[in-house]
Structure 1
Amino acid sequence: QFYAQSYESHEPYGVTLIMSPWNYPFMLSIEPAIGAISAGNTVIIKPSAYAPHVSSVIKKMIEECCDEKYVAVVEGGRAENNELLEQRFDYIFFTGSVNVGKLVMEKASLYLTPVTLELGGKSPCIVDDEHSLKLAAKRIAFGKFLNAGQTCVAPDYLLIRDELKDKFIIYMKDVIKKFFGECPLEHPQLVKIVNQKHFDRLCHLLDNQDIVIGGEYNKDTLMIAPTVVDHVDGDNVLMHEEIFGPILPILTYHHLDDAISFINHREKPLAFYIFSHYKDVQKKILKSCSFGGGCINDTIIHLASNQLSFGGVGHSGMGSYHGKKSFETFSHTRSIVKKATWIDLPFRYYPYNSFKDKMIRLFEK
């Protein structure tokens, strides 16, 4: 390589498509768009039709700020999604469900278009010791009931040591009361479920369940009280798919290995939350389980650091973004060697002989 310089150069992919979901419709449209624009790409933003007012605001805002040649917004529903996916893009960034993510990847494969898929899954939360159990209940309630559970990294279900469960439920009742009052459905900060379809789906999940906290709902406002369900096992309907609502199932275990085995027999989750005071327990779980990202002794807040990338693994997605990683995600990194012309070592050229061999070995020493 003598004499040369090696370096990496970032170039934009080109025309990018950003497809965002309804649960955080502004942030999950604009945040990846910032990364794409900063990397030098042109962008088409496709907001969710399930949040039409936010979609309209995004379109108006982009039209006022940006030349349509560089950044544009396409509104609409399934027909517009399908039409966009038939086009050839240089990069596709999708946030949403696993099923739609599979469709996006299938369409992208026609042109070998690279993708980032920010999906979801059943993110577990383990509570393994009594240390700060009351604080654990508070932080789990925050993560689970934020946005009425309509958060891709919300704790989907709780795995707790059986001897801790009853005390934890008492603490959780107290926390929910402090958060939302005696009548959560009347609290002005309780978030509604996005639409009738998802409201009906969540209410159906509560049929024939052992509800120990909450369970009330209002069909007129599409609100469901923060709810905790006890005596759940792996065959329960609550464990079949991501809940995406304010319902927390509780499962118990005797030994930590049982909890780890339960998690590892399912698809890799987007998030994982560990509540334990003991470092050996923390290390064992981190070593044994694969997941997108998570917290030790907290929930949700790993998303709040611009020093950390965010993304899934396996069934919960591929690729990541946030902070500098957003720029890198929307950039192709070129490896370049810049070679000098004032010297040209002969070792690499034909013919090869014993003298060249000796010289090469001399440099190796």
Structure 2
Amino acid sequence: MEAMKEMVEKDLGELRETFASRRTRSMKWRKRQLSAIIEMVKDKEDEICEALFQDLGKHYTEAYRDELGIVKRSATTALNCLDQWVLPKKSKLPLMYLPIKGKVISEPLGTVLIFSSWNFPIYPLIGAISAGSTVMLKPSELSPNSSSFLAKTIPTYLDSKAIKVLEGGPDIATILLQHKWDKIFFTGSQRVGRVVMSAAAQNLTPVTLELGGKCPTILDDRSIPRDIKTAVTRISGGKWGFCSGQVCIAVDYLLVEQRFASSLIDMLKQNIKSFYGENPKDSGCISKIVNKNHFLRLSRYLDDPRVKASMVHGGSIDEEKLYIEPTILLDPPLDSEIMTEDIFGPILPIITLRDIQESVEFVRSRPKPLALYVFTKDDNLKTRILSETSSGSVTFNDVMIQSVCEALPFGGVGESGMGRYHGRYSYECFSHEKVVVEGNLAVELEARYPPWNPYKLSFLRLAFVEDLFGLALLMLRFYVTSLFNYVVNKL
């Protein structure tokens, strides 16, 4: 333990020293690191995919879609847009303080700590580099092959004095949290998120927490009868087609009208067969559960006799291969673990309602999700969803695409997280926006100072509401009156 503490202190000291040298503020340095990330992904594509296969059983194509392609695009976006992102933002200032200038400039927060997820580990690193911060990256111990790859490879491509990778489990995470950082970025569970936030509070360290949460999907089949097959296929992909549902924005459960449940189940079964054939376990296209603990957690959910009674498809498991078959549940008890805890696996509960409009209250009565998916063409339902529910994002008639749109922010609300990133928002996540105001000594407005009089009050009233015409008339009246009084006094 003492050796770990010394190692953390040594690495942290070097990161702070590097940041103090101002080297990472250079645009040349930032662009060189972003280019190196793109180069690393290109050079090491096979190794990255192999690590993801060993950790998650991901097919090469799925790994490229979810990891390599996204990282290359994200780094390329940052590289191409960085010159624009760093430009000062000019601000309009109140009339009463003219002629002054105001702007907002971005500066890197400093030395930041990133706890990356086991399925998308490099995303936040791109934002921190773009902002000019130095970084301690702690990969998830749940994906040991990916973690080992990052620890071995990143120092050979990126500036090892400014970007460090530290492997380990909860022990090393605890040591890291005992230190003061300029920002902590955490991706993971709500339970650990609370620990991170509590530790950060000791030093008033700002945090971004990406915590997931149960992401509901509402299927209004009445309004999309011609598109229902497409909708169900997208829902199936959002549950089983992304790492077996082990993604924070994966479809968690499905809300439908009771009369449509039977047809829906048949369509879901057809999609599972289309995706994975007769025997999904041997298809080579379905990810395994990330580790034994998560496998046992999901198995425990399914072992609940009340949940078993609701099972209408799947349910087979293989502990040795960490495999759980794509499983469909129909109306499991709402107080069961499967409906109160994040599933993060290939199990899809279907909850039936008398009327799909009831879905709004169902979602609203539960913790705010990271993502909400709604398949409908009913404008009234859309309006109700947007005005009566709260979530990190709402996607109509598709799933998960919000996470790959660089122009849109990504983040949660309430228990699903705080803060946002992706694209420019990742840059802003690791930056401080500093206000700069420049006054002018050549002009002075007497209305700012005592002694007070009715004229100054009238001036301030008009200045605060930006009434240029009124101010012009007031000032003209003032100068005419002053001139008149001067003439009268002279006579």
Question: Match for residue 155 of structure 1?
Answer: 251
Return the alpha-carbon distance in structure 2 between the equivalents of residues 262 and 233 of structure 1.
14
Counterpart CA distance in 1 for 2:431 and 2:363 is: 34
Q: Amino acid of the residue matched to residue 139 of structure 1?
A: R
Contact 1:192 1:224 survives alignment (8 Å): yes
**Comparing both structures, which one devotes a greater share of its residues to helix?**
2
Q: Does 1:330 align with 2:426?
A: no
Task: Report how far residue 61 of structure 1 moved.
Answer: 2.2
Match of 1:311 in 2: 411
Structure 2 residue 218 is matched with structure 1 residue 126? yes
CA displacement at 1:231 relative to structure 2: 2.6
The residue aligned with 2:379 is 279
Q: 1:361 to 1:260 in 2, by over 3 A?
A: closer
Q: Distance in 1 between matches of 2:116 and 2:457?
A: 59
Instruction: Note if contact 2:116-2:122 (Cα within 8 Å) is conserved in structure 1.
Output: no
Which has a greater percent of strand?
1
CA shift at 1:361, angstroms?
5.6
SS at match of 2:368: coil
- Report deviation, 1:275: 0.9
* 1:42 match: 134
Q: Which residue of 2 aligns with 1:250?
A: 350
Q: CA deviation at 1:359?
A: 4.7
Q: Specify the alignment match of 1:266 in structure 2.
A: 366
In structure 1, the partner of 2:235 is 140
Once the two structures are aligned, what percentage of the paired residues are identical?
43
CA distance in 2, matches of 1:112, 1:324: 25
**Which whole-Å CA distance do the structure 2 matches of 1:359 and 1:279 have between them?**
48
Residue aligned with 1:175, SS: helix
Counterpart of 2:445? 345
In structure 2, the CA distance between the partners of 1:356 and 1:289, relative to structure 1 (3 Å rule), is: closer
- The structure with the larger Rg is 2
Partner SS, residue 310 of structure 1: coil
Quote the residue 1:80 is aligned against. 172
* 2-structure distance, mates of 1:219, 1:95: 27
Give distance in 2, aligned partners of 1:358 and 1:121.
54
Give 1:214 shift: 1.5
Which residue identity lines up with residue 102 of structure 1 in the other structure? R
Q: Name the SS of the counterpart of 1:62 in structure 2.
A: helix
Query: Does 1:192 pair with 2:288?
Result: yes
TM-score when scaled to structure 2?
A: 0.71
Partner of 2:265 in structure 1?
169
Task: Provide the secondary structure at the position in 2 that maps to 1:273.
Answer: strand
Task: Give the letter aligned to residue 279 of structure 2.
Answer: C
Structure 1 residue 312: deviation in Å?
0.3
* 8 Å CA contact 1:294, 1:300 repeated in 2: no
Q: CA RMSD in A?
A: 1.5
Change (3 A) 1:193 1:9: same
Partner residue of 2:200?
108
Q: What are the ranges of 5 or more consecutive residues in structure 2 without an aligned counterpart?
A: 1-96, 471-491
Q: Counterpart of 1:7?
A: 103
Alpha-carbon distance in 2 for matches of 1:183, 1:67: 46
Counterpart CA distance in 1 for 2:249 and 2:195 is 22
SS of 1:103's equivalent in the other structure is helix
In the alignment, what sits opposite 2:298? Answer: 202
CA distance in 2, matches of 1:219, 1:65: 38
- In 2, Cα distance between equivalents of 1:85 and 1:171: 48
**Structure 1 Cα separation of the partners of residues 393 and 461 of structure 2:** 47
Q: Which amino acid aligns with 1:98?
A: Q
- Name which of structure 1's ranges 342-351 and 289-298 shifts more when overlaid on structure 2: 342-351
Task: Measure the CA separation in 2 of the matches of 1:171 and 1:15.
Answer: 50
Q: Which range moves more in the overlay, 122-131 or 72-81? A: 122-131
- Quote the Cα distance in structure 1 between the aligned partners of 2:314 and 2:459: 80
Contact kept? 2:357, 2:381, Cα under 8 Å:
no
Q: Which moved more, 1:333-342 or 1:98-107?
A: 333-342
The answer on whether the counterparts of 1:121 and 1:152 sit within 8 Å (CA) in structure 2 is: yes
Shift of 1:118: 0.2
Q: Kindly provide the CA deviation profile for residues 213-262 of structure 1, in whole angstroms up to 9, marking residues without a partner as x.
A: 22122222111111111132312331120011000011100123432222
SS of corresponding position for 1:177? helix
Query: Partner letter of residue 274 of structure 2?
Result: K
C-alpha separation between the residues in 2 aligned to 1:344 and 1:225?
76
Report the AA paired with residue 449 of structure 2: Y
Equivalents in 1 of 2:314, 2:169: separation in Å?
Answer: 34
Deviation at 1:358, TM superposition (A): 5.0
Distance 1:361 1:275 in 2: 51
1:40 partner amino acid: G
**Does 2:187 align with 1:92?**
no
Of residues 150, 155, 162 in structure 2, which corresponds to 1:63?
155
The count of corresponding residues between Structure 1 and Structure 2 is 361
Instruction: Work out whether 1:220 is the aligned partner of 2:316.
Output: no
Task: Name the residue aligned to 1:320.
Answer: 420
- CA change 1:41–1:216 in 2 (3 A) is same
User: Cα 1:263–1:362, aligned 2, differ >3 Å: closer, same or farther?
Assistant: closer
Q: Give, in whole Å, the separation in 2 of the partners of 1:126 and 1:323.
A: 28
Contact 2:360–2:384 (8 Å) recurs in 1: no
Paired residue type of 1:157: Y
- What is the deviation of 1:20? 1.2
Alpha-carbon spacing, 1:302–1:360, altered in 2? closer, same or farther (3 Å): closer
Q: 2: distance between equivalents of 1:91 and 1:137?
A: 41
Q: Deviations over 1:176-235 (max 9, x none)?
A: 100000111111111111111111211221123122122122222111111111132312
- The whole-number CA distance in structure 2 between the counterparts of 1:188 and 1:273 is 28
